[in-house]
Every structure is written in C-alpha cells, then in structure tokens.
Structure 1
C-alpha cells in the first residue's frame, strides 16, 4: 500500500455537509482511512434551530447534535481548524501544527458570520453574530438577562427570525435594513411587504432604507447606541448583526485554487478548480462553501446556504470521489429553504433572482396564507408559500421542467391572479449567492 493510499480521505468541515459526505463515502463502500476535521470542539449539530428554538430557550444548545446515520469508524479531529493546504505534498496543516496527509479531500468548511468591523464599534460588548452553537448559547444567555432594547442589523432570514424570537420573549426590538422591506433580496419587496406588516403587528420597530454606520459604547465598553447614516441614533444595549456570511476559505490561500470569500469554485461534478481553471481530480467541495455551475439555471455559478443542498451536494460529491474520471456526474439542484417567523411557515423552491414577475396563485396576500410563483422571460423559476405549501411540490416539478409562467392554471383552489413586479433591489454581484441556512 502506498503512502497516499494509507492517507485515505480527509473531510475538512465537521458540520452537516461534512457528516453526510462522510456517511455517503461509507455507504458507497469506501473502507479506507477516514479523517474528519472540525474547527469547533462539537460533534456535527443542526443549525436551523439555533435562531429559533435555542434563542427562545425551548432547546438547549447541546440538544442540536445531528444523528450519525452510518457507522463512520472515523478519526475525528475536532477543535483543530485547518489553516493551510499543500496540494503538491497532499497535506493539510492544522492550527496545532499537525500535518494530515490525504489521498482525496472533501472541503466542507461552510461559512462564517460576517462580523461588524472593529473600527466601527464591532469590538464593543453585547454585539453578537449568530452562526454556530456557541454563538447561540452566548446570545441566549444575554437575552435571558432581559435587555432594555435589542437592535438587529439585517433583515434577511436570520434577522427576521431573531426579531420574531425576541418579540415572543417580550423584548423591545428594532430592526434596521437598507432595503425597503425585509427579505427584499430573496423574495422581492411586494412579497417582503407581508413581513413588514408582521413586524408592525408584533410590535417591532422597523427602520427601512436605513444603514448603521457605527456603534457607540459607554465607559465600560458596552454598546449603548447605533448611529445611522441619516443622522439618527438608535438606543440599544444588545445588538445582533445579521449581515450574511463569508465562505470559510482563508485556509486555502496560497493553495493555487479558485477560492475567495465567495466560495470555492467547482466544476459541475463538484471537483474544485485550480487557479488555471483545471479540475483537481483529488479535491471536491460541498455545502455552503462550494460554488458550482448549476445545470438547472443554465450553468450559472451559485453557492447555496440551504440545509437540503448541504446534504444532497455532499452525498453527490462523495459518490463522485469514489468514481473514475469518466463516470463523474454533474450535480443538479433545485434550491429550497424554509423559515418559521411570526407564526408563519415560509417555504420556497427555486431561485427568485432575476424574476421579472410574481403572482399569487393561491390564497391571498391579505390573509398571509398564499402561494406565489415567480417568472422570468415567460418561464417559472421559483415558488414561495406562506402557510400554503400544499401545491409547492407540483410547482417544484414545474420549475425543474422549465415550464411556462405560471405553470399551473387549473388547480381546484386557484382563483384569478394578477402578475406583479417583484420589486427586487439592484443585485450586488454577478454570481449567485443564496443566503439561508434552513431546510
């Protein structure tokens, strides 16, 4: 047996994608050495409950551990982050100085919360981000101390869920976002306006079209207020920064790969691309960190922070890792996520980006129970339900098949509908980045 064969497969990233990828390797018959590296000291855990059940106190942070569905017989290196990759030597350097050899490598390092810059007050006490289990535990403890005013910066899924949780706890809360409505980038302002109404009804304050410039602290270094770009100040003794995430790719600097803060670029088979654009036959990526050309959307590069994608892509990458070069299969994925906030279960399938029209095809916006379908150039590209998911699987199938907009016109509970402009803010980047950590 060669040294490379003895090295076996290393999975860097001990979260959902890393775990399910490792399981898929064993399920597919891989019996060699398997090492799983994680920067956190915890076994893989489920992240969606962190912004809901853990913050509310319904669930303890250590009760979110994911079940292991396959006997892995793996060497776990937890609490030891990867800091460098040497492709020529086929080794990974860990923070403790250890070098791990690999025959094949699965990168599943995920993403990290985008922090508030220290120069603008990010180092003050009682400013939190919410990405991992320890983040949730610290934030839960702080919320249990009943702060006088909570400020949440960013009205994406995590920010809106945190607002909903804070109001359920009876805490005064203010939400600030530069867009006209919450979830404007993922759902558009017409549908996002429903969440604006929910915020008002829940008793939260929403500053739309506003931008936080800096935080101010007191003499003890604890945050007391935020200063907005329009000159206003918002009092707060606890701040949650929910500004999305950056991909955990710093450790790949100098490795000669196409990797940056937006992700690790892969080919259609999830093989990581070298800086020259050539696929690396021994390195694959999956989950939040992976950026790949999705055939369902014309080969558009995208990274998807969804629970379902982490599982499906990791399993797909694992199968390709064990397959010969001529048998590599392209990864096709229809994005799908869910969120629970303000008593509403929101589910979505497809990619809304670029939609030029949206229509509520079942239910009504006024009732907050509806199914909306998004179209682009006459084709259906996404569907979103607010407590109205009965027909969502049918729309998912229609979207995958590239059917016309709207694809279903004769449903028994479908009334007349009027197409509207979705109202998306201007795009921030050319490539697609879908931010969500949910199912």
Structure 2
C-alpha cells in the first residue's frame, strides 16, 4: 500500500510553519517569480532559504511553484532565477510549461520536477511523455474520475498527485482566459481576478443599462461559480487507487484555514494508515471543515458527472467561526502571550485548536498588554497576555463562533 504524503499550501512563512505544525508532510510555496499566485505572500530568496532550513530540520519537503506559462522576453530572467535558486536544494520544482521544464533540465538537471495540474494530464500516454521528459510526479487533471486515476496508476510508474480539498475552477484544470479577457489579468500568469465568481445578467444591445436576470428570482446567475472540493470521505479510495500525494489547495487562504484543514486530513490519513481495515470516518472531521471559509462542498468529478461542481445560487463563502488569535509563547502565572488577529472581548467563549485535533473551549478572562496594563479587548496584531487552557502550546490558534458571519 502506498503511504501518501499530505501536501499543504504555504502562502508565506507563517503559513508554512503552521502547515508543518499541523501535520503536513510537505508544503508547496511560490517564489517572487513565475508562480501562479502572484497575490499570495510568496517567498523571497532569503525566505526560501529559511523555509528550506525549517522543512529540512523537521524532515519535511518543500516544493517551489514555477508553473506560469512564460513569454519569450522572460526566459533570460528564468535562467537567472534558476541559478539563484540552485544552492537552496529545494525538494522539487512544480512546472507546467515545457519550456520551463527544459530549462530546468538544462541548468539544474538533478532537481526533481513535479508537473502542475495546469498541464492538463488526463491519460497514461501523457504521463509517460512527461516522465520521459524528466518529470518524477504528475498532478493529474481535476477532471479525472477515481476509475481513471486508477487506470493511470496501473499503466504508469511515475508518482501521482491529486487535489483533495479547496477551490476549483470551471475551466479545464484551471487554464482559463476569462480573467484576461475581462480585466487584463491572466489566470495563467498568476493574476486571476476570479470573474467566474461574479454575478451575471443579460443585456440586450439596444437597451444598455437594462439587465435581464437569467434566473427568475432577481439575483442574476452564477453559472460559472464552482463549489469547493472536499474529499475527506474518500481518502481510502484515493489511497487504494495508488495516489502518492494528497494536495490541499489554498496558498491565498488564511493561516487558520491552513491549520484547520491540514489537521483534519492529517487525522483522517493517520487513522487509515494505522488500521486500513477498521477505518471509520469521524463526524468531527466534516464538522471542522465546515467551520473554515468555503463555498458549498462537492466531490468534483471523482465519481463522474458533468457540471455538478457549479454552484449557481451565489458566490459567497460560508464559515461558522472567526480566527481571533495565535499563541506565541507561555508566560508567567499560567498566562500566555497571544497575538490578536480579530477583535475579541473578555467574557466571550473562545476555542483553542492545535495539532492532532487538540481543542478546548474556554471563556476569555482578563486581558493585559505585555507591560501588564488591562485591555478592554483583544485587537488585531496586539500582543496580549491572557489565561488559556492548560495544554495550550505555541502555534495553537484561537477561534470564536462567528454565528454565520461572512
């Protein structure tokens, strides 16, 4: 049986550390150039060096996204960037452009290469083509069913990676021109404006300003708005199909999202690996995933279907809880130093969450500054001394029931 890695997003160094703390075997991050999340935190070369040290110290892996499609004038810059990256000895580069792949093979031939989902790999012949070109792992197109994934595994020896959680696109494996056409921001170059999430109505040419909703209830239509992927119930099937890496989408997501989602999939994966025959789903896992910001969940195309991923009602996110703080360190007299992320007040019921599904509800008591002055509320970015549950540890997060606030 394959023991798959759990691969989590690292939009910046904070999120990278959180992903490692909450159970990721590997993380993927973008650098300052040639990734497909230009508005994520992304990592400078010094930060990548620090990230490499952090992951190596813990025996984890770090993959760098270089999966943009380049223009002719950018090739020299890529060559220079690859030379600067080479001393970092990252575990793999994630690529999709054959030209980028060829340049890495020329300038850094020993560097492992992973193929992005942007390459739209849908069949064993394509996998073998990329393997012959030097790719060691292929992230399969999200349009494949479970049976098609199994068929690819049986026909090929290369490692396979699939997305198990996060945002999806209505475009084929994310290769979309809608954003570039409407806003000039190209999804294939990391600057997608997500116009597939916008509300649309019809306008007749001779009646400018008169909007005719496609739906009859006056909301307009969101016929291009995708649901979010959630495969927590189907990890055994994916492992049985021979998947090597289970990938969580979300380099643009919050630190809380990375922590909450990673720890759930870590718990599920560990339970299955410990006892495949006796594996059962814990209802808490799905409950926890419902607490983070998400669109309605779906299994995508894993079991077939055509268009089931579209959520036409609206494009809003759902979440039940707000992220309000990060535990920085243990203080004196049972108090901890917390960095605020959203406002909270003494007397409010909060919940502490940590790795390995540790969690505990408590009522916030008195709040003080580091200098000992009383605080009326915890504020974003403030450093706060407060009492926490006994088993609190640095890196744990605090959340509050948001009563459905968007």
TM-score range, shorter chain: 0.3 to 0.5
More helix as a share of residues: 2
Alignment TM-score, normalising by the size of structure 1: 0.32
More strand, by proportion: 1
